[in-house]
Amino acid sequence: MVAQKKDTVTVSQQQAASGMLKDTAAKADSVKKKAPHSARKATIRSAIIPGWGQAYNKKYWKVPIVWGALGTCIGFFIYNRNEYVDARDAYRLKFDTTISATEALARMKPKFRPVDPEGIRVYRNGVRQNVDYSVLAFLISWGLNVVDATVDGHLKEFNVNDNLSMRINPSYIPQTRQASLSIVMRFGK
C-alpha cells in the first residue's frame, strides 16, 4: 500500500517579505463572478433612457428602431404643434377688430390668407387632434420599448437547445379498439 504525502508549501522569509504572496492573493481576490442577468434592471434602464434596456440585454440592433420610433413621434409633434400655432394665430387675426384687415393679412401666413375663418377653425382643430395623437403615439412607443426590454430580459436566460423537444405519439390499443394520441415532452438529456 502506498500512502500519499501531504502537500505542503514552504515559503521562504525572502518571498514573504518581497510581497509575492500578497500579489497571488490579490489576483485570486480580483476574480469576480459574473452577475446574473436581471430583467428588472433592463426594465428600469429602458424606462429611464429609451434603448438602454435593449443595450443591457445585448440586443443592440433594436436601439435604432426604438430611437427611430420615438424620434418620428417627436417630429410629428413638432410639425403639428407649429401648424396648430399658425392656424390659431390666423383664426384670431381673421376676427381681430383692433387692427385693419390689411395688417391682419400681412401678419398671417400666406397659406391661410385665401381661406375663410370656418376652414381655418376646422384645420386648427384637426391639427390639435394630431398633436394629441403624436403625444399618445410617443407614450405608447416608450411603453413598448419598456415592455420589449422586460420580455427580452426574462427570455435572456431561457434555454432553447436541442435537448428540449416535444413529440406526438399515435397509438392503438387492440383490447379496447381505441386510437389515442399522446404528447411526450423531454427535458434535459
Q: State pLDDT tens for residues 160-177.
A: 666 667 778 888 888 988
CA distance linking residue 74 with residue 51, whole number of Å: 16
Amino acid at 136: L
Q: State pLDDT tens for residues 13-52.
A: 555 555 555 555 555 556 677 788 899 999 999 999 999 9
pTM of the complete model:
0.66
CA distance linking residue 126 with residue 81, whole number of Å: 11
